[in-house]
Amino acid sequence: VTSFYYFTCLPRREHISIGDASHVTACDYVGLVSANDTEDKIEKSGFTFTKSDKVNAPIANELAICLECEVASYDDETHKLVGNIINVSVDETVITDGKVDVAKAAPITFDPFNREYYVLGEKVGDAFKSGMELK
């Protein structure tokens, strides 16, 4: 389960920003507090936003990875949201040799069993290669 924070701006436009270790307190805060109850939620979090040129939604400047999306469907009963990724924005500070450097990005994941956040980053295998040993 990955920790991410999505912000809905206008109907059917969203962005999903990947939480990181250096912003864990702010990311947790925006998940705890409703903007309906706390008018200055974003100001307290310290996040600032820039308007996306791909979708009509803002991008959190402080988080290095952002998926800009359009909502394809939403089920009110199950709360299942399906979106199409229109663009992926990655800050150059987390890129090494033209690729996202997971160690630099320090994405966080939420452990729902213990209610804790962990940083991802340790390589444990090669995608589409490690499983070949079992073929």
- Euclidean distance between CA atoms 61 and 14, whole angstroms: 15
DSSP code for 27: H
Q: What is the pLDDT of residues 58-94, one digit of tens each?
A: 888 999 999 888 888 888 898 887 888 999 999 999 9
CB count within 10 Å of CB 130 equals 10
What pTM was computed for the model? 0.79
Give backbone dihedrals phi and psi of 87, rounded to 5 degrees, phi first: -160, 150
Q: What is the pLDDT of residues 12-29, one digit of tens each?
A: 567 788 999 999 999 999
